[in-house]
A and B are shown apart, each in its own frame.
Chain A
Amino acid sequence: MIKNLGILALLVAVCALTAWQEPRFWSAYNVGNTLSWTGLHGLLALGTAVVILTGGIDLSVGSVAGLAGVMLPWLVVRLGWPVALALPTVLVGSVAIGLLHGVLITRLRLQPFLVTLCGLLVCRGLARYVTGDATIGFREEDAPLRSIATATPFSVDVPGLGAPVAVPIAFLWLVAFALLLAVFLHRTVGGRSLFALGKNEAAARMSGVATSTWTVIAYAISAGLAGFVGVLLALDVNSVQPSTHAQWYELYAIAAAVLGGCSLRGGELTVVGVVLGAAILRVLYNAINILGIPTQLEFAVVGAVILVGAMVDEGLRRLSAR
């Protein structure tokens, strides 16, 4: 919990600094927009964090999101599938990719890095091949479907913003999944099993924990959330470029998880921390745009902030170990 206070302080500091430099940051439109992007990236980061909890890594989430985001309009628009069939197919297919990753890692004992790197390449390649690399979008009559990504179910009055903030549904999805995941991780046999195997797989297995099963499920959760985010993103932007849809998002997801307190060695995860980590990355991105910092610098700024965060974190850890 103390750890999360540190990252919360960092988030507040970045927000305050940006708002001080550029009042437009603190506007109803910008806050709503940032919440929406935080929702999408937060969902990806939570899935990735569950894999990192097991001591593994998932590099494929950006490509899985890309493939899912391409497949939905392709099935609905090009092949004319009904939405009620196409959406479940895409989501189940995403979960299946995760299951495949997990099975390759646990049964064939392949390295998670290698398996999910291949997943990254294969999914991106498939997405581009299926569509012939052409941009694809939805039709007028798909508006009801698009509302699961674009709706703003209610507004909240925040003093000082001028207008009420329309809370974006993507952020609500994040809140809902974060709550579900927190309950799963801390209250269920599965969650306990994931923590135990992440901290020490051999000892967990020797205690009768179904380590392989839960590892596979972790990859399925990650890929399933990635597929869902890919769909939301496609419905939101309504113009899906197979070669760049959700490209490199796995790096943001891993960065958010690590910034949020996950150890790449496994065994550590706080849901709140990961969500805050994702929020910091989005606010940084937003700040770079809004403050007129050259966007070419984006990666450099994000990298530097993560590095400083990691250094401060390690310093605090050493202090508290004394």
Chain B
Amino acid sequence: MPFLAVDGLSKRYAGVVALDGVSLHVDRGEWLAVAGSNGAGKSTLMRILAGLETRDAGRIVLDGAPIAARSAREAKALGIALIPQERSLCANLTIEDHLFLGRERTRRFGFVDHRGRRERAASALARVELDVPPTLSVGKLSTGNQQLLEIARALDEQARVLILDEPTSSLTPHESERLFAALARERERGVALLYVSHRATEIVAYADRVVGLTDGKNSGELVRRPLATEAVIVLMAGRAVTRATPTPREFGPPRLAVEELRTRRHAREIVTLDIRAGEIVGLAGLIGAGRSEVLRALFGADRALGGRLRVDGTRVEVASPRDAMRAGIALVPEDRPTDGVVQDASVRANIGMASLREGARRGFVDSGAERARARTWIERLGIKTRSDRSLVRKLSGGNQQKVAFAKWLARTPRVLLLDEPTRGVDVGAKEEIHRCIEDAARRGAAVLVASGELDELMRLCDRIVVLQRGAIRGELARSQFSERGILELATGAAIAPGAHA
């Protein structure tokens, strides 16, 4: 009998079917990957298992006994822990505080047992091989270490099933490896792993089995030894993904010229680069290398400390996003829910938001033009939405990202800055977004893409510029692209062949 078995799980939200009779099981010491496009029901499945949502129908059996967790607390007590994608750590708590938050170890009269908790914290951290003092504040940890801390806490709470939602989406390759090593150790100890990821390579490398979901239903299953990447991708997308070979683009005259840009984060380093019309340049580097900082400074989202900027040879001063927009610069930012879209506004309002002044006469918005613009871009980018008046919140991640793109493409930008353009987006939508980036370049935009996913950059870009600690360490032409070459520049160290598969 499997350790955790889910049978015929169904869930509706406001009449929309999220899960429709999903069944799956996972054994002790098994690594099960759940694949599917945005909106396939992966999140709902995980949230029900973790007690954050209630199911409408279906059975969940844990270790032979049917369970019905009604809160995260109850699920945890049963041994099921969810490690969410967006971590909700309190930055100014110490690691120790965070580990015991809400389940403080006390002595008589409710006094905190300081010695006991220190020892227990040390052993919890040792279990995931996190070598940091328990008194350090959580905010000082890297994203990867925060992830490990969350896992340490779950394990200390006797978790027997770990559910991981895209755990590596903001980790460096090195951090990802440490995470996977820790997870592999727990698998040996008999912990069941339920793992959701949009990265086919990770699934291929680690999962024992993959279950596919499409439109809230089981859509297939693949068993290990060996998992074929192409088959996993098909399972993830819920359909065959055609990777269009990009047609070569003509480069025009230099569009964007950046000279000696200095950002607040790396005040001593300067960045100088040129991008021609129609060219797509990648910005690679580890987390903290300053990729986002460069883009945000170019767009005026953060003030640059120094540097000169030219668009089509004309000097421009950028102190705010509005200055950048006047110069024809657009930025699709990294953090979609906070910076990229207004989730509680309609698709139409979002697509029109950067063009409010364009169609306006004496301050009055041209509603007709706004509606037409929204409909045009919904069709052109294939945004899946019930209508242009639906709230962006109701769309899947990939479609939200397309809305964020549409807002800027509607202005036909001369310079298009993209920060992690496909983070948290499924394989199918990723392909479509890549196509629309290429399209913008073909129309003459100079494109600068920052991404932590090297295969994305290598597929998309004509040239890759590598940052390390805020400075450009090198540049690779398309013919020189290799993951190893980029990582060597990004880390500043020679890497033995095969160290990063």
Contacts and interface: CB of A to CB of B under 8 A. Distances in A.
B418 to A, nearest CB: 13
Contacts of A195: 345, 349
Contacts of B360: 188-189
A163 interface: no
Contacts of A322: 14
12 contacts: A188-B363, A188-B364, A190-B363, A196-B345, A196-B349, A199-B343, A200-B342, A203-B353, A206-B299, A206-B331, A208-B325, A267-B344
Nearest to A263: B344
Interface string A149-165: 00000000000000000
Interface residues of A, number: 23
Contact of A206 (B340, B357, B363): B340
Given A203-B339, A206-B301, A196 B364 contact: no
Interface of A: 187-190, 192-193, 195-196, 199-200, 202-210, 267, 320-322
B463 to A, nearest CB: 26
Contact of B357 (A189, A199, A320): A189
A209 B301 CA distance: 12
Contacts of B364: 187-189
B333 interface: yes
B367 interface: yes
Contacts of B353: 192, 196, 203-204, 207-209
Given A192-B356, A196-B345, A196-B353, A187 B339 contact: no
A77 to B, nearest CB: 39
Given A187-B364, A195-B345, A208 B354 contact: yes
Interface in B233-270: none
A205 B367 CA distance: 21
Given A208-B353, A208-B356, 15 more contacts: A187-B364, A189-B357, A189-B363, A195-B349, A199-B342, A199-B343, A199-B344, A202-B338, A206-B301, A206-B333, A207-B321, A208-B322, A209-B353, A210-B322, A321-B14
B412 to A, nearest CB: 15
Closest CB pairs A-B (n = 8): A207-B353, A200-B342, A207-B354, A208-B325, A199-B344, A199-B342, A208-B322, A188-B363
B14 A203 contact: no
A195 B360 CA distance: 17
Contacts of A199: 342-345
Nearest to A188: B363
Given A192-B365, A199-B344, A209 B356 contact: yes
Main secondary structure of the interface of A (DSSP, over half): helix
Interface residues of B, number: 28
Interface of B: 14, 299, 301, 321-322, 325, 331, 333, 338-345, 349, 352-354, 356-357, 360, 363-365, 367, 407
B357 A203 contact: no
A200 B363 contact: no
Contacts of B365: 187-189, 192
Contacts of A206: 299, 301, 321, 331, 333, 339-340
A209 B342 CA distance: 12
Nearest to A197: B342
A200 B321 contact: no
Contacts of B343: 199-200
A321 B12 CA distance: 11
B188 to A, nearest CB: 43
A257 B281 CA distance: 50
A211 to B, nearest CB: 10
A227 B441 CA distance: 54
Contacts of B354: 207-208
Nearest to B325: A208
Contacts of A188: 360, 363-365
Contacts of B407: 207
Contacts of B301: 205-206
Contacts of A207: 321, 353-354, 407
Contacts of A196: 342, 345, 349, 353
A205 B14 contact: no
Contact of B341 (A189, A203, A320): A203
A207 B333 CA distance: 10
B229 to A, nearest CB: 36
Most B C-beta atoms less than 10 A away, residue of A195, A203, A210, A267: A203
A208 B321 contact: yes
Contacts of A203: 338-342, 353
Contact of B356 (A193, A202, A267, A321): A193
A206 B341 CA distance: 9
A322 B15 CA distance: 8
Contacts of A267: 344
A112 B352 CA distance: 29
A127 B357 CA distance: 41
Nearest to A212: B320
Nearest to A321: B14
A46 to B, nearest CB: 20
Contact of A200 (B325, B333, B338): B338
A146 to B, nearest CB: 35
A192 B321 contact: no
Nearest to B321: A208
B12 to A, nearest CB: 9
B356 A189 contact: yes
Most B C-beta atoms less than 10 A away, residue of A187, A196, A199, A206: A206
A65 B352 CA distance: 38
A316 to B, nearest CB: 14
Contacts of B321: 205-208
Nearest to A265: B344
A226 to B, nearest CB: 24
B14 A187 contact: no
Contacts of A202: 338-339
Contacts of A193: 356
A208 B352 CA distance: 11
A205 B321 CA distance: 7
A203 B365 CA distance: 19
Most A C-beta atoms less than 10 A away, residue of B299, B338, B357, B365: B365
A204 B339 CA distance: 8
A188 to B, nearest CB: 5
A203 B301 CA distance: 11
Nearest to A200: B342
